[in-house]
Amino acid sequence: MKRSYSRLDQAMVRDNDGLRPASLDEAIARVADGLSRHKGDAFGMFSCSKATNEMNYIAQKFSRVVMGSNNIDSCNRT
């Protein structure tokens, strides 16, 4: 069975009326604004043991340094 996937070719942001096209700068600014409102204990992150050590290191560094949260977990215990 052949599948047809349609991919976004530009950033989309959600407004009151649904999604609309936006510039990449506007989309990134919205992401940054949303993340800045959830710093500290309001933020948590999961990482995966199947990712590389480098990727897990970056994930914990982002969580602790950028977001100010020690709420990071992974499935490394299993």
Mean pLDDT value of segment 7-25 = 92
Pair 71, 39: CB distance under 8 Å = no
For the record, the structure tokens of 55 come out as 């990727």
* Nearest by Cα to 13 from 3, 27, 31, 2: 27
> What predicted TM-score, i.e. pTM, was given to this entire model?
0.66
| Residue pLDDT, tens place only, 27-77 | 999 999 988 888 888 999 998 888 888 999 999 999 999 999 999 887 766
CA dist 12 and 68 (Å) reads 28
Other residues' Cβ atoms within 10 Å of the Cβ of residue 56: 17
Using the predicted structure, report yes or no on whether residue 78 has a pLDDT greater than 60.
no
Work out the pLDDT band at 11, boundaries 50, 70, 90: very high
Structure confidence at residue 73 (pLDDT): 87
Using the predicted structure, report yes or no on whether residue 3 has a pLDDT greater than 80.
no
